[in-house]
Amino acid sequence: MRRRWIGAIAAGCGVLFTLASPVGAQELEELVDESEREEAEIRRIPGTKTPGFMPEGMDSRLRLPEDEGVQRLRIAQDREIDPDTYIVGPGDVLQLYIWGEFDQDIRFEVNPEGQALVPTIGTFKVAGKTLATAKQMIGDVAHEKYPSVEISLTLQSMRFFTAYVTGAVLESERAHVISPVTRVSDLIEKAGGFLDDGKVAKQPTARRSVKILHQDGSAEEVDLAMFLSTGDIRQNPYVRMGDVVHVGFRKHQIFVYGTVNAEGSQEFRAGDTVGDLLRLAQGVAGSAPLAHAEIWRFVAGTDSITVVPLVTEDSDRLHTSADIAHVPLQPKDMLFIRSRSDWQQTPTVHAHGEILYTGRYRIVEGKTRIRDFIEQAGGLTNRANLLEARVIRTKYRAIQDPELARLQDIVAATGLADLIPEERAYLKTKQREEKGRLTIDFQLLFEGDETQNILLKGGDVIHVPQQRATVSMSGQFLKPGLLNFEEGRRAAYYLERAGGYSFDADKGGARLIRARTGQREAYNANLIVLPGDEIWVPEKEYRDWWALVQGTMRTTAEALTLILLVRAI
């Protein structure tokens, strides 16, 4: 009776509280409904429903994020799970689906002891077994109990577990949380990577002999360097629960140099061949056959080296890397390999300017000459300027002139004052020259002079500019600018048409610059001017005559003083 009174009083208080509360009955009902919906969403997340583990209301599930947040919780995979190789362990969630006479969806989790409790079916020890074996075990018993229905068993979600990496990695002191689809390379990356990646190790790490120690006492060795070079996924397996990955240091090395994509040293493993080394070096560069290949090898127990020839340049057939791939290697072997540099080359020359069909054309080195090439490109247009036409050998433009570079560095640092006259002259000449230009007279070439009809080489550029029917008058003229060219006229004629010299013209410094060669000639009124030539007159250098007089007087006084002192002595 007392309990009934207490309940009635509590109910009455509840009614009074509800009436006094600012939250109405409808709002409270909405909050309750929202809470139920959230709970229902949580229960639908794979792995949260674990029958038989805890009584109703006593579970410790956390409220996980919804929608996109739930999607991010899924474990990323690089491929589908293979039931024949996937090892089941504690934390895996399986789903048993029964349909036919009745439908039933049963989800269950492998407990920490490695057992799977399947409601209405039984308990099974599945940890350490493949997924295919677990399916067979549970499926057989389920079929015996329900013979007239169809049964399907699938992996609903994967577990997380811890693993260790020891040896030459940056973080080997702690465990790392991983999943069943974490590969050896992923685990090493979680451990901070190899020591020599961070320049911490004094010697290279053993990427080709990474050891995996399994829980059952067995071990295997994987070649991560080969995986990175070839993509062979067998050399980068998944890490199992209980595995310890150990990274050591290299014991022996082998080397490869020459026409390969990645020169340098590689770790040596017993049984390595030339083919293995070339795969680690990411193959021979290009598709050209081998011209030369040899191994330099130490004689056992000595410092002497013997050379093992594999391919010689005088070989009577074309060799590829496959021909020498079987050759076995020894520690410290050095493989030197060269490919044919002239293999299937397609040398080209570029036609530019007043040529009928400009562009790039293929040539035969040793046979194609300038005139043949121009005819192949359709010949010259009627606007072609043969006086200024030129051939540039681009291969020579890349050649550095060490003396010119030295002089340019001096000028950049201290100016021209520290150069002797010869060095200044050399610097001026080199800065004016067009690097790589061949000495060819196109006028003589098309007049039939065969000495000008030279052989072309790959990369050459033939430029034929447009005729310039003008003469440039630049500098200190009364009317500087361009004048129409007239055949046979002398320099004095163009000087007169430009209005003559200006007031501050340095007549002694006047020059005639030839368009054909770029060379400067001292101005002479009788010089014949050609199309495109330029007459240039500099400005007089400004002189401060009063400063010059003061300097002269000071110098004279100092000289007289010195003479008087000498006589007094």
Q: Which helix (H) or strand (E) holds 280?
A: helix 274-280
Query: What's residue 154's pLDDT?
Result: 92
HEC profile of 374-388: HHHCCCECCCECCCC
Query: What's residue 36's pLDDT?
Result: 64
Regarding the domain with residue range 75-157, which homologous superfamily does it belong to in the CATH classification? wza like domain (3.30.1950.10)
Task: Determine the longest span between alpha carbons in the chain, in angstroms.
Answer: 147
| Residues whose CB falls within 8 Å of the CB of residue 488, separated by 6 or more in sequence, listed in order | 528
The class level of CATH for 253-339 reads alpha beta
- Measure the CA–CA gap between 492 and 419, rounded to whole angstroms: 37
Evaluate whether 161-247 and 253-339 have a shared fold: yes
Domain boundaries, the chain: 2-43, 75-157, 161-247, 253-339
Query: What's residue 103's pLDDT?
Result: 85
CA dihedral angle for residue 27, residue 32, residue 33, residue 37, rounded to 10 degrees? 140
- Measure the CA–CA gap between 300 and 191, rounded to whole angstroms: 39
Tokens of 152: 């399907």
- Measure the CA–CA gap between 411 and 428, rounded to whole angstroms: 12
Per-residue pLDDT 10s for the chain (569 aa) are 444 444 443 444 443 333 334 444 455 566 556 666 665 665 554 444 433 333 343 333 333 344 444 444 568 888 898 999 999 999 999 999 988 878 888 899 999 999 999 988 999 999 999 999 999 999 999 989 888 889 899 999 999 999 999 999 988 888 899 999 999 999 999 999 998 887 777 889 999 999 999 988 999 999 999 999 999 999 999 999 989 999 999 999 999 999 999 999 999 999 999 999 999 999 999 888 998 999 999 998 899 999 999 998 777 778 899 999 999 999 999 999 999 877 777 889 999 999 999 999 999 888 999 999 999 999 999 999 888 899 999 888 888 889 998 998 998 888 888 888 898 888 888 887 888 889 899 989 999 999 999 999 999 999 999 888 889 999 999 999 999 989 899 999 999 999 999 988 998 889 998 887 778 899 999 999 988 889 999 988 766 667 777 777 888 888 888 887 777 77
Q: Which helix (H) or strand (E) holds 361?
A: strand 359-362
Tokens of 93: 């969630």
Half-sphere exposure of 305 (CA within 13 A, CB side): 11
Q: Are 146 and 98 contacting, i.e. CB atoms less than 8 angstroms apart?
A: yes
Q: Which residues pair with 163 in a beta bridge?
A: 176
Query: What's residue 541's pLDDT?
Result: 77
- Give the number of other CB atoms < 10 A from CB of residue 457: 16
Helix 421-432 to helix 402-414 angle (10° resolution) is: 110
- Measure the CA–CA gap between 355 and 360, rounded to whole angstroms: 12
Single-letter amino acid code for the residue at 569: I
- Measure the CA–CA gap between 162 and 176, rounded to whole angstroms: 5
DSSP string, 476-530: SBSS-EEEE--TT-BHHHHHHHTTSB-TTB-GGG-EEE-TTT--EEE--TTPBP-
Calculate the alpha carbon distances from 547 to 396, 540, 560, 561 in Å: 50, 18, 20, 21
Single-letter amino acid code for the residue at 141: V
Q: Are 493 and 411 contacting, i.e. CB atoms less than 8 angstroms apart?
A: no
- Left, alpha or beta for 135 (phi > 0: left; psi -120 to 50: alpha)? alpha
In CATH, the number for domain 161-247 is 3.10.560.10
Q: Which helix (H) or strand (E) holds 7?
A: helix 2-20
- Give the number of other CB atoms < 10 A from CB of residue 130: 16
Q: Are 512 and 523 contacting, i.e. CB atoms less than 8 angstroms apart?
A: yes
Query: What's residue 543's pLDDT?
Result: 65
Query: What's residue 171's pLDDT?
Result: 87
Query: What's residue 63's pLDDT?
Result: 39
pTM score: 0.57
